[in-house]
Amino acid sequence: MRSRQRMFAAVMRLLLKCLRLGRRRRFKLVRQVEQLWHYGHLCLRSLFYNSFTDSDVVLDSLFEPVYWLVDHVTRWFGVVFVALVIGLTSSIVAIVYICLLPLILQTYTPAWICWHLAYGHWNLIMIVFHYYMAITTSPGHPPQAKNDLTGVSICRKCIAPKPARTHHCSICNRCVLKMDHHCPWLNNCVGHYNHRYFFSFCLFMTMGCIYCSISGWEMFRDAYAAIERMKLLEKERLQVAANQTYYQTPPPTFSFRQRAFHKSVVYLWVLCSSVALALGALTLWHAALITRGETSIERHINRKERQRLQKKGKVFRNPYSYGSWDNWKVFLGVDVPRHWLTRVLLPSPHLPHGTGLSWDLPPCVTEQRAPLLAI
């Protein structure tokens, strides 16, 4: 009896030892897995760690392939966009000369004829001049060598001096002085030396489209009604042919010249009205930026700075704004009153104030403001 009890106790002790050993091995395996997990997580964080990382940086990293694709597509398709602008503008001018101008000369009074000829050709000259200057004028680039300018930082992408208001264009792969944006319709950056040409082109193109839309409204209504009448008569002619009623006279059809004339008038009015709305909104947006003395990029920078200072109970002031009226004078290069005619209402290739490397007070500014730190 005792031998059986001893044997049973020995078996139980052996079983307990096996259970303890299995539990220890299992716990040891779990600890090893946890250690490997923490070690791998630490290695991954050490490879991608950045003290400046936030949600914006993560989104920029995720959209980097999209940015790369847009940059390269815009760079290669810039010539196509320029050709499209030239082609559409040339088609409108051709329609005006071939279709509308003879009608104006036959129906309008001499005073209205002189007005249309003078205003139309002046507007066309301003559009062509400013568009040509905008696409051929370099926006300005900072020098690659070291200089003695104060407040110059270093661009992280091209490793070159970066003066105030200068930003790097990923499409041109260069820093641009007073960069506003890269315009694919110009195949060029909008910067210090061609910003005025870009805005003037947008303004005069909008004015020309509004002029064509207003002056051609009655012609558009007549042409649209004629096209609808052509469709109706064509439908009736097909019905007559299907019924084979040869004793009926087929309805008259419009000639090819009449069809082309009416469709050209409708094309002109629809295109000019659409461009007037879209380009007019863009022109008003840039006019508001010029009034505040800032570019499209600086608007975002100034907004963040304004919010940061507002939390501290301070007021932000744009160091490059001299007041609404003086901002326009500086932008347009108006130093004396006669410049409103020679430099604004007539084509003028004059250079903007300053070199884009430093921002001294322009001579046309009436009141000197207190110096502020550059943003």
Catalytic center residues: 183
DSSP-based three-state secondary structure for 3: helix
Any idea what DSSP says for residue 163? -
* Spatial distance between the Cα atoms of 319 and 126, rounded to a whole number of angstroms: 32
Rounded to whole angstroms, the Cα distance separating 24 from 254 reads: 98
CA torsion, ordered 154, 156, 162, 167, to nearest 10 deg? -160
Token pair recorded at residue 371: 């110096």
Residue 9 and residue 3: Cα distance in Å, rounded?
10
Integer CA distances (angstroms), 201 to 179, 184, 243, in order: 17, 14, 57
Q: Residue type for 211, please?
A: Y
CA–CA distance, 333 with 218 (Å, rounded to integer): 40
The rounded distance, in Å, linking the Cα atoms of 124 and 130 is 10
- Cβ atoms of 208 and 123 closer than 8 Å: yes
d(CA 276, CA 209): 5
Return the number of other C-beta atoms located less than 10 Å from residue 215's C-beta.
18
- The Cα 258–Cα 316 span in angstroms is 62
Strands (E), the chain: 153-154, 161-162, 167-169, 174-176, 181-183, 188-190
**φ and ψ at residue 190, rounded to 5 degrees:** -100, 110
8 A C-beta contact, residue 131 and residue 206: no
